[in-house]
Chains A and B, each alone.
Chain A
């Protein structure tokens, strides 16, 4: 299984440009998440979704938008990129609940630089 796949792996954006970070999972997980990790910091939640058509804000949602039209895909949209959005972005998915195996699986990350 591929697990959680993120594209692209690297991207350089100019200030004011927009882009979409793609995320797909093949584990039929209901829950999906977008986190960002800044240098020396932990991961912070941007947006999450508990199912197709349902999304909600996390801790740091400003400057981002998401949609969830299918169980598999959870794209993250950056509008009007700013240097503060330079970060590594991780997509993750999980099953509901806290039983063994419900832990979040992460993609390999997208390293984004805004110049």
Chain B
């Protein structure tokens, strides 16, 4: 049972344009959501997070939006840069659960010149 879903395995955008990566979840008890970025042969690195009490969090070029009623979150990258080309994982966690993360399957973002 996939509790966190990323339905787009890949996304291609042009440099300078907006990248929008989507994530859906089924467990309404999740109360903290994170995005990780992963380059080949490296471990995931934290990008941005959002608590379930918020609907938006912004950090530089990265913004995460949370729609709790739809159980949906999205990551916006503006403007997209070639160095953003990587696999992006959405993850969710439960309070009191030891910060365990449930991951989506990832979206491969390619930013083209």
Partner of A42, one of B43, B93, B98, B104: B104
Number of residues of chain A lying within 8 A (CB) of chain B: 28
Q: Measured between C-beta atoms, what is the minimum distance from A68 to chain B in Å? A: 12
Number of residues of chain B lying within 8 A (CB) of chain A: 26
Chain B residues, Cβ within 8 Å of A114: none
Is A56 engaged at the interface, CB distance under 8 Å to the other chain? yes
Partner of B103, one of A4, A40, A44, A109: A44
Nearest to A98 among chain B residues (CB) is B32
Is A52 engaged at the interface, CB distance under 8 Å to the other chain? no
- One of A14-22, A78-86, A100-108 contacting the partner: A100-108
A interface residue numbers (CB < 8 A to B): 4, 31, 33, 35, 40-45, 48, 50, 56, 58, 90, 92, 94, 96-98, 102-109
Query: Given known contacts A58-B100, A98-B93, what 11 new A-B pairs fall within 8 Å (CB)?
Result: A31-B99, A35-B103, A45-B101, A103-B46, A103-B49, A104-B46, A106-B36, A106-B44, A106-B45, A108-B41, A108-B43
